[in-house]
């Protein structure tokens, strides 16, 4: 029985392109390059946040202007998707999700990780790995379940038989498809962009790949926005009052 449930997830976790740098953690093989680049991404976000907020002024200037612009953007996104009553509680979560995906995507588009030689495997953007995108999607699912149960208690589960009881299977299936859609959309778009750029660089190494790389920067930012927007929409749907 355990193998029945574990095998599908093991097969999904192996969906990948390129060579992986494996770490053996507790008898499990983990993709070491994901941890390494994720720590670099998180370190960059922490450093930029510290630089922009270590010396706050009533009249912002310099880098504080940039951090306040990003914060205001995330607050507006959360307010639009979740509503005025609940949105402030979820700004840190949506902001973290957005910034991590955004910086991860751009790290894959801007930094030639493949030129950094490892004993085995190669470095890549964290969102280029299905395990990362599935983890982010599952965090989102846990968050909107928590938001709904926190506000409505067990009454939250009435949504499965609303507006009619025969919709129960469809509503349950929807909660399974949401994380699948989030994870595979992000993984597929980032992987496809890197593959296209890689092929063009190999075939025409000078000027033609540059517009594709610029387009990749744009689509990478859009993917971060789409993921954060959908996460906010799911949380907003969970806390919404149905009359």
Instruction: Return averaged pLDDT per consecutive 10 residues of the chain, 243 residues in all.
Output: 48 54 75 85 91 78 84 93 88 94 87 70 82 91 91 82 78 84 85 70 64 77 92 90 59
Phi, psi of 57, deg, nearest 5: -125, 150
pLDDT at 5: 45
pLDDT at 122: 75
Residue 47, CA distances (Å) to 27, 63, 238 in order: 34, 12, 34
Which has the closest alpha carbon to 90: 79, 99, 101, 102?
A: 79
Residues 159, 173: Cα–Cα separation, whole Å:
13
pLDDT at 198: 65
pLDDT at 2: 46
The pTM is what?
A: 0.82
The predicted-structure confidence for 205-235, as pLDDT tens digits, reads as follows 666 567 767 777 888 889 999 999 999 999 9
pLDDT at 163: 76
Per-domain boundaries in the chain: 2-239
């Amino acid at each position: 029985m355990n193998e029945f449930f574990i095998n599908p997830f093991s097969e999904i976790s192996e969906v990948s392109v390129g060579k992986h740098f494996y770490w053996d953690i507790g008898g499990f093989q983990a993709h070491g390059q994901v941890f390494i680049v994720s720590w670099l991404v998180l370190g960059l976000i922490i450093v930029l946040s510290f630089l922009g907020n270590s010396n706050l002024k009533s009249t912002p200037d310099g880098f504080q202007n940039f951090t306040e612009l990003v914060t205001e953007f995330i607050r507006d996104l959360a307010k639009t998707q979740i509503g005025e009553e609940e949105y402030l509680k979820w700004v840190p979560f949506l902001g973290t999700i957005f910034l991590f995906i955004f910086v991860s995507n751009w790290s894959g588009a801007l930094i030639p990780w493949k030129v950094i030689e490892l004993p085995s495997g190669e470095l890549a953007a964290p969102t280029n790995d299905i395990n990362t995108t599935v983890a982010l999607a599952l965090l989102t699912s846990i968050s909107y379940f928590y938001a709904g149960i926190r506000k409505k208690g067990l009454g939250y589960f009435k949504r499965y038989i609303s507006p009619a009881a025969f919709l129960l299977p469809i509503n349950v299936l929807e909660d399974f498809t949401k994380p699948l859609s989030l994870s595979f959309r992000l993984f597929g778009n980032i992987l496809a962009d890197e593959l296209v750029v890689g092929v063009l660089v190999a075939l025409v190494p000078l000027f033609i790949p540059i517009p594709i790389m610029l387009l990749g920067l744009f689509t990478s930012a859009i993917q971060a926005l789409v993921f954060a927007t959908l996460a906010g929409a799911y949380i907003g749907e969970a806390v919404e009052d149905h009359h």
